[in-house]
Amino acid sequence: MKLRASCLVLVFFALLPNAWAQSPRVGYVYPAGGQCGTSFLVEVGGQGLRAVDGVHVTGDGVRAEVADHAWALNNDQQRAAQSLLREVVKRRWMASAMDAASAQTDPRYLPPDHPLLRDLDAKSSAEIEKLWTRLFSPKKQPNVQIAESVLVEVTIAPDAAPGDRELRLISRTGLSNPLRFEVGDLPELREESADGDAAPGLVPPLVLNGQVLPGEVDRFAIQARAGQSLMARVEARALTPYLADAVPGWFQATLALYDPGGREVAFCDDYLLQPDPVVLYRAPQDGVYVLEIRDAIFRGREDFVYRITVEDAPAVPGSLLAGAAGGYASLPEATESGPNDPPDESRPIALPVMIAGQIEREGDLDAFSFDGRAGEEIVAEVYARRLGSPLDSGMSLIDDAGTEVAGNDDTPDPAEGLMTHHADSYLRAQLPRDGRYRIVLRDMQHAGGEEYAYRLRIGPPQPDFVLRATPPSVAVSPARPAKLKLQAIRRDGFAGEIVVSLIGSPANLRMAPVSIPAGADTAEATLTVAGGGERQVVPVQLEGRAQIGGNEIVRPVVPAEEMMQAFAYWQVVPRQELLVAINRAAGDVPVVWRPVVEGVSLEGPQRIRLPLGESVEVRLVAERTDALEHAIFRMANRPRGVIFRDVTATAEGLIVTLSADPYIAIPGDSASAIIEVFAEPPGGLSAAGAQRSRVSLGVLPAIEIEITRS
């Protein structure tokens, strides 16, 4: 193996004093929305929030500012808080029986100056009870993920557009993940202000906000008129799609309605295919009805946040479902009609086609026939669950002799990150001979009905792709690039190269075009920023380009968040914006490309050519080599067969040695490799005996590597 001369020099990022600091991470927003033209206080719970000093809400018309921080109480503070709350309750009881002046707070107890414990005398009994449950319930399990909180003052302009927004916290260490925040036009009420079923009755329409704490059941009294059709619609899982440490992986709300006599007249756990319940009820008489919300298995904690919209029911409840089918809008349309029940009947169709139909009854089968030629490739795809239909489709391709050529039950769609039961069918097959073929569609549960609708695409493959970028929030400074993971979801057999680029250069951000190689599904990219200026948060957009059938196809990159569900499953959930927090702090040492080839310094990044069976050295010049004593290095996204062989520390920095395995690497392969640096705290184990976690210190700008023959 021949060692080639070093070909690249980089100025390594400075290891900042706050490199060990934790970026903010949020787990809930309460309340998770508000009415246009109002101002109110919002609590945002999470971890790593002590340095939070800003808030970002997508869209116009919403202003949010940090009002205070609420930290986790230590043992002494908890004891003082318990004594304080007992004294408040005792004083109120005594005041109801004697002169309030004789009931004074015990001077032995000095409560902590904590935002949640301020102005207790102004809180209602329901608020005091809620606070006690939150802090001291024996069912409460400690959770560091939501142990801290930030109080945010939110002001929504009267002309703000109603709809879903995203809220993020900003700190000097980074930008938090986004959480859903709704802007609405209905009056809003918090559970602490409703006083449960003892109230005289709230008059719809309105939105009810609350949190279900451990073992808690929340109730709201609703005034209804005789003949009034009510709809109570819960948003719980819709606000926080996945919880990492809960089964089934979200707040599984149930909703019940009780009549004025206390009898349960309606109940809902899931509505159609959505975990969030909806109750529809026509009141037979005037009176106060009680809505009751709880968790299905009586769990609860601060991030079990909900919103209940109570209003008149729509004329057609099914209008709550998503209506239009996605994709392939250019195909000819047809409707399923007439006799089409196999084996005797099938509806003749011309390909390609998009068919709108329904499985009308239990055991119903729909069949569609077409003429095919030997070697012709056919794709059949069902859209049902992805459109809100309960249909659990199964599909077969059958030849004129009655033999099944291909079949499919469920095919997961990675682009649908909110779906946990992927029940839509997809098949792709090559026809074995000339003849008449049928596509037969059924419900695998032998169910059917008016709501079991579907759209069925049949025709030749239409290769395409969709793109995702994670995480949806990143932080970058001149000294610390940010890393993005790019994911390609390929359709109908498309396997070509996709090149992803940054659209424009907002706030001097840069990203070299990144290739997702042919046949690959992922790649990694780095964002860098140059120059000085104020700290700011900017949205960025990426797009991917590929050649398909001789045409250039351009697709947007959708920001997304990787979320763990129920301890085990990872879901990629689309988000509204890809946001970059730019921190140009004083003293940052910018990362500067200084390629050197045969002693001549060149401008801009240079592709490293790595011959089969040989090695190259990449030199990284560091400002502080002493800080690299415990550093660990990882290279990602490198071409197949490239070996990250060695890292050698020198007085000036590091020398990284790369080589190309002659039996695995393929000449012509290229990729934008990324070197990430981790710090591992000295000492190995913490005082509690746990393994210390590695901390990412950042990444270098992507290095283009190309495999060559020599």
Q: What is the DSSP string of 375-406?
A: T-EEEEEEESGGGT----EEEEEE-TTS-EEE
pLDDT of res. 99:
47
How would you list the strands of the sheet with 264-268, edge to edge? 218-224, 287-295, 253-258, 264-268
* Helix, strand, coil percentages for the chain (3-state, nearest 5): 10, 45, 45
- The helix (H) or strand (E) run that includes residue 70 is strand 62-70
- Give the pLDDT confidence of 63-96 residue by residue, as tens digits: 999 999 988 888 888 888 888 888 787 777 666 5
Q: What is the DSSP letter of 496?
A: -
- The helix (H) or strand (E) run that includes residue 528 is strand 522-529
Whether the bond into 611 is cis, omega within 30 of 0: no
- In sequence order, the β-bridge partners of residue 544 are 500, 555
Reduced to 3 states (helix: H, G, I; strand: E, B; else coil), residue 215 is coil
Question: Do 619 and 653 contact (CB within 8 A), yes or no?
Answer: yes
Question: Do 609 and 704 contact (CB within 8 A), yes or no?
Answer: no
Whether the bond into 432 is cis, omega within 30 of 0: no
Measured CA to CA, the distance from residue 529 to residue 511 in angstroms comes to 9
Measured CA to CA, the distance from residue 211 to residue 133 in angstroms comes to 11
Question: Do 556 and 520 contact (CB within 8 A), yes or no?
Answer: no
Measured CA to CA, the distance from residue 528 to residue 481 in angstroms comes to 5
Measured CA to CA, the distance from residue 214 to residue 143 in angstroms comes to 13
pLDDT of res. 107:
47
Terminal CA-CA length for the chain: 12
Question: Do 698 and 481 contact (CB within 8 A), yes or no?
Answer: yes
Q: Which residue bears the tokens 């009655």?
A: 402
What is the sign of the dihedral through the CA atoms of 557, 562, 563 and 569? positive
Question: Do 60 and 160 contact (CB within 8 A), yes or no?
Answer: yes
Question: Do 584 and 477 contact (CB within 8 A), yes or no?
Answer: yes
Measured CA to CA, the distance from residue 644 to residue 657 in angstroms comes to 7
What backbone phi and psi angles, to 5 degrees, belong to 507?
55, 35
pLDDT of res. 96:
57
**DSSP per-residue string spanning 422-447:** ----EEEEE--SSEEEEEEEEETTS-
Question: Do 281 and 265 contact (CB within 8 A), yes or no?
Answer: yes
Closest to 224 measured CA to CA, from 308, 103, 310: 310
Q: Which two tokens stand for residue 606?
A: 């240079």
Reduced to 3 states (helix: H, G, I; strand: E, B; else coil), residue 653 is strand
- Give the pLDDT confidence of 283-334 residue by residue, as tens digits: 999 999 999 999 999 999 999 999 999 999 986 554 333 444 455 767 888 8
Question: Do 172 and 18 contact (CB within 8 A), yes or no?
Answer: yes
Reduced to 3 states (helix: H, G, I; strand: E, B; else coil), residue 63 is strand
Q: Which two tokens stand for residue 692?
A: 């210390």
Integer Rg of the chain from CA: 30
Residue type, 26: V
Reduced to 3 states (helix: H, G, I; strand: E, B; else coil), residue 89 is helix
What is the sign of the dihedral through the CA atoms of 489, 494, 499 and 504? negative
What is the sign of the dihedral through the CA atoms of 471, 474, 479 and 481? positive
Q: How far, in Å, are 23, 25, 614, 680 from residue 19 at the CA level?
A: 10, 16, 36, 12
pLDDT of res. 569:
92
Q: Which two tokens stand for residue 85?
A: 């709350």
Question: Do 321 and 219 contact (CB within 8 A), yes or no?
Answer: no
pLDDT of res. 378:
97
Neighbours of 446 (CB within 10 A): 11
Q: How far, in Å, are 65, 206, 551 from residue 40 at the CA level?
A: 11, 16, 52
pLDDT of res. 590:
45
pLDDT of res. 682:
60
Q: Which residue bears the tokens 């909806």?
A: 278
Question: Do 419 and 386 contact (CB within 8 A), yes or no?
Answer: yes
Question: Do 236 and 251 contact (CB within 8 A), yes or no?
Answer: yes
User: To the nearest 10°, the Cα dihedral for 242, 410, 454, 308?
Assistant: -20
Question: Do 620 and 657 contact (CB within 8 A), yes or no?
Answer: no
Q: Which residue bears the tokens 């414990």?
A: 117
Cβ partners under 8 Å of residue 186, min gap 6: 35, 205, 206, 207, 309, 311
Low-confidence ranges of the chain (pLDDT < 50): 6, 14-20, 98-109, 197-198, 318-325, 586-605, 685, 687-688
- The helix (H) or strand (E) run that includes residue 126 is helix 125-136
Reduced to 3 states (helix: H, G, I; strand: E, B; else coil), residue 693 is coil
Closest to 194 measured CA to CA, from 156, 223, 234, 225: 223
Measured CA to CA, the distance from residue 514 to residue 521 in angstroms comes to 13
- In sequence order, the β-bridge partners of residue 290 are 221, 258
Question: Do 554 and 597 contact (CB within 8 A), yes or no?
Answer: no
Q: Which two tokens stand for residue 532?
A: 């000085």
Measured CA to CA, the distance from residue 53 to residue 248 in angstroms comes to 34
Number of H helices, E strands in the chain: 2, 51
Closest to 214 measured CA to CA, from 129, 124, 149, 302: 302
pLDDT of res. 139:
80
Q: What percent of the chain has pLDDT over 70?
A: 83
Neighbours of 493 (CB within 10 A): 12
pLDDT of res. 199:
55
User: To the nearest 10°, the Cα dihedral for 310, 313, 316, 319?
Assistant: -20
Question: Do 656 and 617 contact (CB within 8 A), yes or no?
Answer: yes
Question: Do 328 and 457 contact (CB within 8 A), yes or no?
Answer: yes
**DSSP per-residue string spanning 284-325:** SSSEEEEEEEEETTS---TT-EEEEEEEEPPS-GGGGS--SP
